[in-house]
Amino acid sequence: MDVALLTDSASCLPPGPQDGVPLHVLPLHVMVEGRRGDSREVTQAEVVDVLRAGRERVTTSRVSPGEFVTGYRALVAATGCRRVVSVHLSGRLSGTAEAAGLAAQELADEVEVRVVDARTVGLPLGWAALDAASLACEGGSLEEVERLALERASGARAWFYVDSLEHLRRGGRLGRAQAVLGSALAIKPLLGVDDGEVVLAERVRTRGRAVARLGDLAAQAAERVREDGGRPRLGVHELGAEEAAGDLAAALGRRVGVEPQMAPLDPGVGVHTGPGTLGVVVAHGG
């Protein structure tokens, strides 16, 4: 094995080393009521409680290039690999990939790092990193591992519903959807991630209709994966909506015949979507 992998906790994988594969997850940072922590220290429940109470603004801060330098060196020490593929959430949503690139330049004489801007977030990012790490275990080259990570991420689809657009707007994460929605923050849209940024997928009138459409969109995407000869992989994300997410996952599993992976949103992502978020993701399972 010559290649190791690094990703960030926007992948919704647990921070730290991942069992069985050469992959380490670097946690994102969250500021809660003046206290800076990461997803090992700030829980989803804490973020939900503070956002619902409206006591103080909850914010995020990007992982610094220095933290990436430390992370890359630790990964080299743990795995013995001097080639790293670093797979991160969309550069249109965060400066994380940029920071990784700066660190890679600093360490150019020590380790060869290929930074992949996955142009997505959540489980599609995590699955891309895990699949790439599995290929690395099988002896894949740096170029092959990098290519697979990008292919897996770019082939995934993601849609989500938020109770309020305020958190996305305040954090500057509305992307192209901002121009379409303007100041109509009271509507309940279905949003998607397209080429790394948030876009408007559909307008809906009620939360119930939104949840139903999430199921429709995921089922249709899964069918397209099958038509392409692939095996669909499904996931359901939530922030402060565990029961609704469980119901959605159960219904989707019955409909598609594939059990979705349940994944609470990482606090560093959930800060920007707010309580009540539900999301579905679909990707090729190999």
Residue 42: inside a domain? no
- Residue where a domain terminates, one of 136, 154, 172: 154
Residue 54 has pLDDT above 70, yes or no: yes
CA atoms within 13 A on the CB side of 234: 30
Q: What is the CATH number of the domain that holds 168?
A: 3.30.1180.10
* Domain closes at, from 154, 174, 203: 154
Residues 108 and 163 placed together within one structural domain of the fold: no
DSSP string for residues in 187-245: SEEEEEEETTEEEEEEEESSHHHHHHHHHHHHHHHHHHHHHTT--EEEEEEEES-HHHH
Q: How many structural domains compose the chain?
A: 2
> Of the residues 154, 187, 220, which one is the last residue of a structural domain?
154
Position 36 in a domain: no
CATH number of the domain where residue 108 is located: 3.40.50.10440
Q: Is 274 inside any structural domain? A: yes
Q: Are residues 150 and 161 in the same domain?
A: no
Q: Is the same domain home to 104 and 16?
A: yes
Judgement on whether residues 220 and 280 belong to the same structural domain of the protein = yes
The domain in which residue 107 lies consists of: 3-28+63-154
Same domain, 10 and 135: yes
Per residue in 225-239, pLDDT (tens digit) is 999 999 999 999 999
For 73-131, the pLDDT digits (tens) are 999 999 999 999 999 999 998 899 999 999 999 999 999 999 999 999 999 999 999 99
| Amino acid 148: pLDDT | 98
Angle at 190 between CA 186 and CA 195, to 5 degrees: 120
Q: Give residue 198's pLDDT band: very low, low, confident or very high (50, 70, 90).
A: confident
d(CA 200, CA 179): 10
pLDDT value at residue 1: 84
Question: Are 17 and 136 in a shared domain?
Answer: yes
CA gap 250, 233 in Å, rounded = 14
Residue 22 lies in a domain: yes
Same-domain check for residues 150 and 235: no
Average pLDDT over residues 264-280: 92
Whether the pLDDT of residue 177 is over 70: the answer is no
Quick one: 109 and 138 in the same domain? yes
Verdict on whether the full-model pTM lies above 0.85: yes
Helix (H) or strand (E) holding 134: helix 123-137
The packing angle between helices 142-154 and 123-137, to 10°, is: 150
Average pLDDT along the chain:
89
76 and 176 assigned to the same domain: no
Residue 202, in any domain of the structure: yes
In a domain, 40, yes or no: no
- 115 shares its domain with 17: yes
Give the least confident one: 11-20, 145-154, 209-218, 238-247: 11-20
- For residue 8, give Cα distances in angstroms to 97, 181, 258: 9, 30, 26
Give a yes or no: residue 44 inside a domain.
no
Answer yes or no: is 48 within a domain: no
Print the SS3 string covering 71-108: HHHHHHHHHCCCEEEEEECCCCCCCHHHHHHHHHHHCC
- In terms of domains, do 200 and 134 share one? no
Are residues 105 and 132 both part of a single domain?
yes
